[in-house]
Amino acid sequence: MNGLTIVILAAGEGKRMHSRQPKVLHPLCGRPLIAYPLRAARTVADRVVLVVPPNAEGVRRVVGADVAVVEQRERLGTGHAVLEARSACGAGPILVLPGDVPLLAAATLERLVNHHLATGAAATVLTATVDRPQGYGRVLRQGGRVKRIVEDRDATDDQKKIQEINTSVYCFDARRLWPALAEVRPDNDQGEYYLTDVVGILARAGARIEAVAVPEAVEALGVNDRKQLAAVAAIQRGRILDRLMEAGVTILDPATTHIEDTVSIGADTVVYPHVVIEGDSAIGSDCVIGSGCQLHASRLADRVTLKPYCVLSEAVVEEGATLGPFCHLRPASHVGARAKIGNFVELKKSRIGRGAKVPHLSYVGDATVGADVNVGAGAITCNYDGVAKHETKIEDGAFIGTNASLVAPLTIGAGAYVGAGSTITKDVPPGALAVSRGQQIVKEGWAARRARRRATPSD
């Protein structure tokens, strides 16, 4: 866009987060905080430069190769941070963006740049009018024109009453920016080089200073502490749910539904209250996600039904399958088309075949279960011997009786039957019946004899 460079400032300490993790890496609806300004910048700019503190390997890892990363070795203020980025900037306009303002829309940035170019301004400031301006720099005007920006901590009592705030987003003419930055001095309460002082320097030199207001004040919300992070996350979640509903997803209770920015959901899927969907999850069309379900990095095909309180993590569920209520799919679980996983069933690193049923109260781990298999209530695969995990293979059409224990490594052949209550330690051939349990003994009249013995006094 007209040779535009966007410089994102992300070298702040973030002291108010009280965290060992850099502020811009704190998660916001499934993405690190820095990902949001980066996404907007990539949409608008020809070149993106990110200013980071020393030892910011974590930030570098999430940025991507298309972003130039510049290190600010000394934290001497925002003006100093922009100067550090100079060698990575182009000759075109320069837009400066804070790394902790995630709600800014790319369209707002485009409008700011277009206004800046159309007016031939030396600097254009993005402003917002808010009811509670405390903590933000105030925009000082004279005759309606922007003359200066004063930081909150340096403002007088009268200046603090001004409700038009600086969003810390600016577009500069590069030819005017660098000489003005060279004039900035750390004559303030912080002893820092403020980028905001450039506006006053340019205005005093007779340069044109323009201002563009954000369409919604929430776009200007920054994140300085965890309370603000939570407030911004609530707004972002609302945007995510609005986007999904506009695309044909039914969200029955948006107030209790948490869906991250990384999630995709197909049309005509219904999401019930108290659902949490996180990570790189993809849900198909015509699905039903019951109340209390939690999904992380899982994939559901079309027409899948999750009854209430299912928990899925890194799992795959194929078309038309039904799960729950109260089932748990641990990582690397794969449920086939039209299969049924019932209440209080746990799967771990197992593949359940097409049309198979694990209806209730079972554990299936490190197993391959074929098509149309039936696993009875309470049946389990004994996959761990205390040292290593072992695999169980149950071939197509097999029937596993109630409370059977299958001790891996083991293969149950196609169409074979395992009797209820059996502990199976050897392979079962196809079509065979395997029963392994103690012989039943019946002693008629035993209860009456026992009662008589208890009633007879002992010597």
360 classed as catalytic:
yes
Which is catalytic among the residues 26, 116, 328, 360? 360
CA distance 98 to 11: 10
Beta bridge partners of 322: 305, 340
Cα–Cα distance between 120 and 31 in angstroms, integer? 36
What ranges make up the beta strands (E) of 122-163? 123-129, 138-142, 145-150
- What is the rounded distance in angstroms from the CA atom of residue 1 to the CA atom of residue 45? 6
Nearest to 139 by CA among 121, 163, 123, 116: 163
As a whole number of angstroms, the distance between CA 301 and CA 264 comes to 12
How far is residue 167's CA from residue 221's CA, in Å, rounded to a whole number? 8
Is residue 321 within 8 A of residue 302, CB to CB? The reply is no
Q: Where are the alpha helices (DSSP H) in 13-158?
A: 35-44, 57-63, 78-84, 106-119
Give the Cα-Cα-Cα angle 220, 226, 229 (nearest 5 degrees).
35
- Residues tagged active-site: 360
